[in-house]
Structure 1
Amino acid sequence: MSWVSNIEKGIRDTLLVPPYKDLVLHIEYMDSKRNHSAEHYARIKDLLKSKFDTIDLSLILSSDNNAFDFLVRNRDELFPEVPVVFCGVNNFSNSQLDGVSDFTGVAEIMSSRDTVAEILHQLPDTKHIYVINDYLKTGRAWEATLRRNLAPFGGSIDLEYNENLSIEQLRDKIQSMKKGSVVLLGVYFSDRDGVYITYEKLGSLLTQNSPVPVYCLLRFNLRDGVVGGKVISGYHQGVMMSEVARRILAGENAGEIPVAKVGSNVFMYDWQALDKYGIPVDRLPEESVVLNEPFSFYNEYLYLVWSTIVVFVAMVSLVLVLGKNIVTLRKVRSELQHSELKYRSIFDNAQEGIYQTSIEGRVLAVNDAFAAIFGYASREEVVDTLDNVATKLYHNESDREIFLEALRTEGRLSGFEVKMKRKNGEVVWITMNARKTQDQDGNVIFEGSVVDITSRKHNELRIIQSEKMMSVGGLAAGMAHEINNPLAVIISSVQNLQRRLTRETSRNVKIAEECGVPYSAIMEYIERSSCSKLMTGMYEAGMRAATIVRGMLSFSRKSDSEFVPHDLGDLMRSALSLVVNDYDFRRNYDFRKIKIVDDFDAEDLTVACDGTEIQQVFLNLLKNGAEAMGEKKYHEGEVPCFVLRGYRLGDLAVMEIEDNGPGMDEEVRNRIMEPFFTTKSVNRGTGLGLSISYFIVTDRHHGVMEVFSEPGKGTRFSVKLPLYES
Structure 2
Amino acid sequence: MRLFCITTIIVVLQWSGLLAPLNIAAGAESLDKNRNVLLLNSYNQKMSWVENIVQGVEDILHPEQNNLTLHIENMDTKVFFSAEYFESFRNYLQVKYQKTSFSLILLSDNNAYDFIRTHRKTLFPGVPVSFCGVNDFEQNQLAGLQDFTGVAELFSARQTVELALKIHPETTELFIINDYLKTGRAWAKDIDEDLQGLSDTIRIRHSGNLSIKELQDEISRLGPTALILLGVFFADRDGLYYTYERTGEILSKVSKVPVYCLLEFNIGSGIVGGHVISGYYQGKTMAEIGKKILSGEDADSIPVILQGSNRYVFDYKQLSRFGIDEKLLPGNSVIINRPFSFYQEYKTEVLTVLFFICALLLTIIGLILNIGRRKRAEKALQESEIRFRQLANATWEAIIVHSKGMFFHGNDPFYSLFGYQKGELDNKQILPIILPPESVGDVVKRIEQGILDPYETVAIRKNGEKFPVEIRVREMEYEERDVRMAAIRDLSGRKRIEQRLAQSQKLEAIGTLAGGIAHDFNNILSAIIGYCELASLEAIPGTKIKKYLGEMHKAGNRAKELVQQILTFARKSIDEKEPVQVSQVVVEALKLLRASLPTSISIQQHLNSNAQVLGETTKIHQVLMNLCTNAGKAMKDGGTLTVSLDEEYLDQEFISRNLGYTTGNHIKLSVKDTGVGIPPEDLTKIFDPFFTTRPKEEGTGLGLSVVHGIVRDCHGFITVWSEPGKGCDFSVYLPVADVVASHHTILADELPGGSERILLVDDETMLVNMMHDLLQKLGYEVTGFTSALEALHTFSKSPDDFDLVISDMTMPIMSGDTLAGELLSVRPDIPIILNTGFTDKITEDEALKIGIKRFIMKPVEINKLAPAIREVLAGE
TM-score, with structure 1 as normaliser: 0.41
